[in-house]
Amino acid sequence: MDVYLFLWKSRYDWSVEYITSTQPFGYARDDLTSGNINYLDIVHPKDIDDVTKNFASCSKSGSDDISLQYRVITNSGDIRWVNEKVISHANTDSSQQYLSIVIDITDSKMEEEKLQETLAIKDELESIINNSPAIVFQWKSECKLEEKWPVEFVSDNINRFGYTPDEFVTGELQYGDIIYPDDLERVQYELCKRREKGHNDFSQEYRIVTKSGKIRWVDERTFIQRDKDGNPVSYQGIIVDITDRKHTENILHTEHDIALVINSLDEPEEILNQVLDLTINIGIIDCGCIHFIDEYGNLNLMVYKGLSHEFVNNISYLGSNSILNRIIMTGQPVYKDYSEIPFKSDLFANKNERLRAVALIPLVCNGEVLGSLNLSSHLYDEIPVDIRTAIETIAAQLGGFIARMKAEMNLYEYHALSSSIVPNKLELYENKQS
């Protein structure tokens, strides 16, 4: 680090009287002290105004100690950064002299600029990550089968799942805490297996639970960081939400499986139960029921899943004059918030069910309404378009199945089936008729 001591007069051109160095910044000392070159001549042109203004401002305020940073141009044409410390001294004749300690800070300035560039790049990368679908994690490796992955870093866009980075980096949550319980053991096993076999990267798909309790599918690309001896020290993960893709895949599989079930030789009730199970497994929807219309136009419950007994009691029989029955008989699918659906008058059962999004899908064949597929969610406020399309396709398959069954059965058998209510609700039905 080069240090120069200057003594110069209080003049507009900063005339130099004395310099400790023989060749400050490559210039001959005599050129500066003789006035052939004034100090301001070597200050970078873009910095001269700032330097003179700051110096004048400090002098005017009466400051005896002034610090300035600026660039100078060396005799060889190079640009160097300096830090100048100026001390004012009053002579006996009332004239002013200034003692300057000028330190070449180019190296540290370059390091500072590199650091600023690095920070700018880091900020840009973080912005790109936080505005992308990918969530970035770094987890500490505990090198055991049942590790839960303490989080060392997570990108801000984890807020897409309702969490904040602080919840993870402070240890309040570990990553394993948000993995869907049914998937956790498999995820732990896969990581342990790949780690022990010496793999450095791999991918797997699994479910996570958002802070609001919703389930999302993710694809995780894991990179295992090892020390010089090959021991895992941390994991870096890139996580992308693939819920929409999984829904699409699941819908296609479900529609295929339902076609196979409907064309099987199982008993009607077993077929209906399987269809309802498969429909609910699509996602978003977590409960539902199927009603058949009897010869009097009443809707009778055939099968249900995910609903409380109190609620099932409330909807097991929907007379031909009930509002719900009339909605179904329009033959048009209805998607509403549960609070907007006029279920029957047992308000206690209705409120306790805590349903949110509801779908009422008529089962129609050749223009005739034969029943209804009623589905709902305890978690979601709306059923997405792709799920709506899927359940309407399933409803069309069910409508065809019921029409075929009606054609194949004799009239007495079909009326007996369509008028039946789930066995443990028969007494309730009889009480309603009396």
Q: Where are the beta strands (DSSP E) in 25-112?
A: 65-73, 79-90, 96-104
pTM above 0.85, yes or no: no
Residues 413 and 345 in one domain: yes
At residue 91, the pLDDT reads 63
Pair (408, 287) in one structural domain: yes
CA distances from 263 to 96, 267, 303 (A): 106, 11, 19
Shared domain for 425 and 291, answered yes or no, is: yes
Domain that holds residue 395: 248-433
Cα–Cα distance measured from residue 103 to residue 25, given in angstroms and rounded to the nearest whole number: 11
Tokens of 56: 């004048």
Instruction: With respect to residue 275, please indicate whether it lies within any of the assigned structural domains.
Output: yes
Helix/strand number for the chain, H first, E second: 14, 16
Q: What is the domain-level CATH number for residue 414?
A: 3.30.450.40
Structural domain includes residue 320: yes
Question: pLDDT truncated to tens, each residue of the chain (434 aa)?
Answer: 688 888 877 666 677 888 887 788 888 888 888 888 888 888 999 998 888 888 777 667 666 678 889 999 999 999 999 998 888 766 656 567 778 888 998 888 888 888 887 776 666 666 666 666 789 898 888 777 677 889 999 988 999 999 999 999 999 999 999 999 999 999 999 998 988 888 889 999 999 999 999 899 999 999 998 888 888 888 989 999 999 888 888 888 888 899 899 887 678 888 999 999 999 988 889 999 999 998 889 999 999 999 988 888 888 888 888 888 999 999 999 999 888 876 554 444 466 788 999 999 999 999 999 999 999 999 899 998 989 999 999 999 999 999 988 887 765 566 666 666 554 443 443 344 44
**One domain, residues 282 and 411:** yes
Strands (E), 306-396: 317-318, 334-337, 357-365, 368-376
- In sign, the C-alpha dihedral spanning 154, 159, 162, 167 is positive
Q: What is the dihedral of CA 251, 257, 263, 265, to 10 degrees?
A: -140
**Pick from 109, 142, 162: which residue ends a domain?**
109
What is the C-alpha to C-alpha distance for residues 118 and 182, in angstroms, rounded to an integer? 42
Check whether residue 317 and residue 402 sit in a common domain.
Answer: yes
Tell whether 114 is covered by a domain. Answer: no
CB within 8 A of 369, min separation 6: which ones? Answer: 293, 328, 329, 331, 362, 363
Tokens for 72? Answer: 């100078």
Distance CA 306, CA 304 (A): 7
Q: Are 225 and 253 in the same domain?
A: no
Q: Report yes or no: 336 and 358 within 8 Å, Cβ to Cβ.
A: yes
Tokens describing residue 247? 């829904």
The last residue of a domain, from among 241, 272, 302: 241
For the chain, what's the residue count? 434
pLDDT score of 122: 67
Task: Work out whether strand 287-293 and strand 299-305 pair parallel, antiparallel, or are unpaired.
Answer: antiparallel
Q: Same domain for 234 and 262?
A: no
> Are 390 and 372 in the same domain?
yes
Residues 316, 252 share a domain: yes
Judge contact between 5 and 100, C-beta under 8 A. Answer: yes
User: In the chain, how long is the greatest CA-to-CA distance?
Assistant: 129
Q: Would 121 be classed as within a structural domain?
A: no
Total number of domains in the chain: 3
CATH classification at residue 53: 3.30.450.20
Residue 196, pLDDT score:
87
Pair 101, 153 in one domain: no
